[in-house]
Amino acid sequence: MARSRDTTGAGDAFAAAFLAAVLDNAEPVEAVEAGHNLARRVLTEPGAILTTDEQGAVRD
């Protein structure tokens, strides 16, 4: 399990992923999982900046 490095932006990331999933007609549990997954990802990066590819997509 990755350690949390910075909590900046975790709540915003959760809200963004949750709302994006809701707008994509996800079930409530799926939307919450999407929010948690992105928030978890943000917690492992300093300054709430995620690594992206050349097209700007977030990558692992």
Q: Answer whether residue 53 shows pLDDT above 70.
A: no
**CA–CA separation, 53 and 3 (whole Å):** 23
Residues for the chain: how many in total?
A: 60
pTM of the model: 0.76
* Predicted pLDDT of residue 18: 96
DSSP line for 10-51: HHHHHHHHHHHHHHTT--HHHHHHHHHHHHHHHHTSGGG---
**CA–CA separation, 55 and 17 (whole Å):** 19
User: 14-31: per-residue pLDDT in tens?
Assistant: 999 999 999 999 999 999
- Region for residue 16 given its phi and psi (left: phi exceeds 0; alpha: psi -120 to 50; beta: otherwise): alpha
